Structure formats: structure tokens, C-alpha cells
Amino acid sequence: MVSFINLGPYSFVRVELLPLTPNGPYRLTVEHPAKTLVEYFETPIAAMSRQAEIERVLTNHSDAVTVTTR
């Protein structure tokens, strides 16, 4: 799954969640203009919770909008 976090009119953060095997673990990659963050999780729920946490920090509010593509 690939999604994008809108940081402003000209800045996006790309977020990718991939299973490394059919049943996990899962790799969460966050590509920010300043750096790339890669984390590994046992479940997709844990990875998605971390994605939401990162999104809240980057957008500085809890009602952030994410555009998801498949």
C-alpha cells in the first residue's frame, strides 16, 4: 500500500507499507524530503498505528488527510 501525506502546497511525504512475506513481518517506509525512515512490524495494525502517529507529528494535528493509492 502506498499513500501520501500532504505537508503543504508543494511538499508530500510518501508512505509505503509492504509485507516482506505473506504473513509478515511488514516494512513501513516513510520518505520525507529531509530523510527516509524505515521500520519493521510483526502486524499490519502495528505498522498502521505507527503511520498514524508519524502523520500526526508531521501535520501537527490529529485530523490529517491521507491519500491512498493501490
Span 44-69, pLDDT tens digits:
999 999 999 988 888 875 454 555 55
- The CA-atom distances, in angstroms, between 26 and each of 3, 10, 52, 68 are 15, 29, 15, 17
Res. 18 pLDDT band, cuts 50 70 90: very high
Report the pLDDT value the prediction gives residue 43, as an integer from 0 to 100: 95
What cell was used for 5?
501525506
Alpha helices in the chain (DSSP H): 44-59
Distance CA 31, CA 27 (A): 13
> Strand, helix or coil at 34?
coil
Report the pLDDT value the prediction gives residue 3, as an integer from 0 to 100: 87
What cell was used for 41?
512490524
Residue 26 has pLDDT above 90, yes or no: yes
pTM of the model: 0.77
